[in-house]
Structure 1
Amino acid sequence: MGRRSDEGNARRAQPLSGRRARRPEVLDGVDFAAWARLWAELGAGCPPRATYEELLRRYREPHRAYHNGQHLQECLQVRRLINAACHAPAEVDLALWFHDAIYDPLRSDNELRSAQWLDDVARDSGLGDETRRRLYGLIMVTRHDGAPASVDEAVLVDTDLAILGASAARFEEYDRQVRREYRYVPLFVYRRKRRQVLEGFLARGRIYTTAPYFDAFEQQARVNLASAIDRLG
């Protein structure tokens, strides 16, 4: 079988298959050893273990139903499975660790505050200005309000959006999780706003910028989005 088929088989097996993840502190690939290796790849000192533990504590906050440790694990696993070429893989992976570090559905500056936190940690760990600038931009592009400015930003955005191309079961679970995070919004308002978001993705010429992610997820994402829009009525 060809590479594309191998990637598809791996993706269907895991991570976006509908299996519920375990608690974030024991998720595969989100352990302290993986965290320390990532900083070593960047040539930086590993931040104190307390920083790692605080990050995981954030991902366990009770108001998170989707933007939690499961999402972090899935993003990191998708990165490994798809393995799309990028200029600075370790920077992309570190940005994934922090891209939802701060998450409050009542606020609109979550990406900004997440980027600022990573910038503080990166500076204290000895990363240079240019690296920190790129990391900041990687997190800010996950606002999904503009086109990625680099290959690395495109890979990060595509990874964040991989959930749209998950199995039907996992996508439906994701859809329910998002609703739980916005449970304070009246249902009729939520349906209208959610429909606008989903239709916005579906109207794009292509949802995924990079070829490996397009090949792996585009077709299923369009099926999932159309089904979700139908369910909203």
Structure 2
Amino acid sequence: MTVLIDPPAWPAHGTLFSHLVSDASLAELHAFATSIGVSRRAFDLDHYDVAAERYDVAVAAGAVPVDGRELARRLGASGLRVPGRARRAAKADALLARWDALLPGARDVGVDLVERWHEPHRVYHGPEHLVHALDSLALLEGRQPGVPDDVVAPWSAGGGATSGSEAGDDPDHVPRSGVATQLALWFHDAVHDGEAGRDEERSAELARTRLADHLGTSVVDEVARLVLVTTDHSPAPGDGPGALVSDADLAILGSAPDRYARYARQVRAEYAHVPDDAFRTGRAAVLRGLLAGDALFRTPQGTTLWEAPARKNLHDELTTLDTPT
């Protein structure tokens, strides 16, 4: 790993700031920032803002000084870069605004989830993925992506949440279509320790625990079930909500080639501890498994939007893995 820093040139708060980045690992970037006394509050999803008076300290500790253009190039090549628009949407305050609109009165749950999605070891499975999945779900459900869905749930009317048992027994406390699918995406990678299958099980259990005081039992059960659908993305025939959640989670596969390439770099960066040969073998097996199925997407909208470009993206990445430079 190399930690890079550009010259102090960005004015704010009465001083100038540098950007401090890593070309390989966010976890090691966080460790470096801590070692030179830079607060985690200075982290902005792919870089730290470092005040001018800390520049010499960072260089003395091992940060390599480069100009802004070189820093941007190295950050982009690493797969860790988050573009400005995506970075703004993935910030904690923006995500909390979306959460508050979805489930009023459950701010503590939202804060916990946002903190989880911003854990330092995440690269692809971080807040940008959450935003992309939520926006993809909005497309599938006919809502406007990027706009908080103003859901004023009947169980919060009158200033207090109805208890789980009461809400589950009262048909008036069933949220309208789309709430369970959105909540499932909020929780689907809430636990991400790199253990396939177990992560989804733990995320589903977290949904049960954190939502029990805010939603009826039947709704909580449905959210947990939908989280588990993302284990293998194989919803049963006729499972409309499961198909929506699965397609939204996989939508990145059908993104534009440049966005897909960044996704692939992010996945590699998230597994930076895995040697190249082992990563190529494992990743190629995953891609072949995806391509072997009859369809990646299970909704008509998802098939129309993403099936063809996803298969091309997967084939192109697989070719790259099979012929490494």
- Amino acid of the structure 2 residue aligned with 1:82: L
- Amino acid of the structure 2 residue aligned with 1:92: T
Contact 1:105 1:181 in 2 (8 A): no
- Give the Cα separation in 2 of the matches to 1:132 and 1:184: 36
> Could you state the TM-score of these two structures normalised by the residue count of structure 2?
0.59
Q: Hey, what does 2:207 align to over in structure 1?
A: 118
- Give the Cα separation in 2 of the matches to 1:123 and 1:209: 30
Q: Is residue 22 from structure 1 mapped to residue 22 from structure 2 by the alignment?
A: no
Residue of 247, 250, 265 corresponding to 1:176:
265
Q: Is residue 144 from structure 1 mapped to residue 232 from structure 2 by the alignment?
A: yes
Alpha-carbon distance, 1:68 to partner? 0.5
Residue of 124, 130, 135 corresponding to 2:223:
135
Q: Which has the higher contact order (CA 8 A, sep 6+)?
A: 1
Q: Hey, what does 2:64 align to over in structure 1?
A: none
Contact 2:121 2:270 in 1 (8 A): yes
Distance 1:215 1:27, change over 3 A: farther
Alpha-carbon distance, 1:25 to partner? 2.8
Distance 1:145 1:155, change over 3 A: closer
- Give the Cα separation in 1 of the matches to 2:228 and 2:142: 20
Q: Is residue 38 from structure 1 mapped to residue 102 from structure 2 by the alignment?
A: yes
- Give the Cα separation in 2 of the matches to 1:225 and 1:143: 19
Q: Hey, what does 1:102 align to over in structure 2?
A: 191
Alpha-carbon distance, 1:26 to partner? 4.7
Map Cα deviations across residues 205-230 of structure 1 (whole Å, 9 max, x no partner): 11101100000001100110000000
Contact 1:92 1:156 in 2 (8 A): yes
- Give the Cα separation in 1 of the matches to 2:232 and 2:181: 16
- Give the Cα separation in 1 of the matches to 2:305 and 2:91: 29
Unaligned runs of 5+ in 1: 1-17, 41-45
Which moved further from structure 2: 88-97 or 222-231? 88-97
Moved over 6 A (4+): none
- Amino acid of the structure 1 residue aligned with 2:293: R
Distance 1:206 1:108, change over 3 A: closer
Contact 1:88 1:152 in 2 (8 A): no
SS in 1 for 2:230: helix
> Could you state the TM-score of these two structures normalised by the residue count of structure 1?
0.81
Residue of 192, 200, 203 corresponding to 2:281:
192
Alpha-carbon distance, 1:122 to partner? 1.3
**Sequence identity percentage:** 33
SS in 2 for 1:22: helix
Distance 1:215 1:166, change over 3 A: same
Unaligned runs of 5+ in 2: 1-81, 144-175
**Greater radius of gyration (CA):** 2
Contact 1:100 1:114 in 2 (8 A): yes
Map Cα deviations across residues 162-210 of structure 1 (whole Å, 9 max, x no partner): 0000010111111111111111222111111110110111111111011
SS in 2 for 1:121: helix
Q: Hey, what does 1:78 align to over in structure 2?
A: 136
- Give the Cα separation in 1 of the matches to 2:187 and 2:140: 20
- Amino acid of the structure 1 residue aligned with 2:222: R
Which moved further from structure 2: 68-77 or 19-28? 19-28
SS in 2 for 1:75: helix
The number of aligned residues is 206
- Amino acid of the structure 2 residue aligned with 1:230: T
- Amino acid of the structure 2 residue aligned with 1:131: V
Task: Select the structure that is richer in helix.
Answer: 1
- Amino acid of the structure 1 residue aligned with 2:126: N
Q: Hey, what does 1:59 align to over in structure 2?
A: 117
